[in-house]
Chain A
Amino acid sequence: DAGVIQSPRHEVTEMGQEVTLRCKPISGHNSLFWYRQTMMRGLELLIYFNNNVPIDDSGMPEDRFSAKMPNASFSTLKIQPSEPRDSAVYFCASSLESATGELFFGEGSRLTVL
């Protein structure tokens, strides 16, 4: 298996622009997580999907952030409009059995908002 695949790996954009990050989880995994990592705050859970359904989005910073999982093999995280404070590395991770199982991370999408 190719593992969790994220795109783009790097994104540089200007404040106010829309950003879309993409994730393909490992085939057969029923849980998908979006995390954000910064030096100041470490790893933060943004949203958790189970069987394509959003279970907990309490970590989504504000209404500018939205996430979808239209099918078992694809998820997006969208920021509109983007702000400089959104600059971070965004990770997607998947698991066969939510947090009771091993968590597999993608390589991350490094976002820089100017």
Chain B
Amino acid sequence: AQTVTQSQPEMSVQEAETVTLSCTYDTSESDYYLFWYKQPPSRQMILVIRQEAYKQQNATENRFSVNFQKAAKSFSLKISDSQLGDAAMYFCAYKEGGTSYGKLTFGQGTILTVHP
């Protein structure tokens, strides 16, 4: 079974600085997708960024970028120029590709605090 591990239960960053959240996963598949989701306090979870495993180029969405190391099974999220609105729980998630069924497997989450 696939597993996703986020080893940092909590992280903090100063406003305008950069922070990196770590995620590792375990799979024997070659076709899969990785995601970072953001869950603000008492608000809906939203997709931050996604990465297809077959793409070597790291995904980027504005201030958010990933460092995808397929051989190491590592998928970290970098948030540049951190803003107060980035404070949330961040989840790393995995989805197997090329199957007739789908589900997301989530890590335990990392609480990000942004200090003004």
Chain A bound to chain B: no
Using a CB–CB distance below 8 Å, which chain A residues touch chain B?
none
B→A interface (CB under 8 Å): none
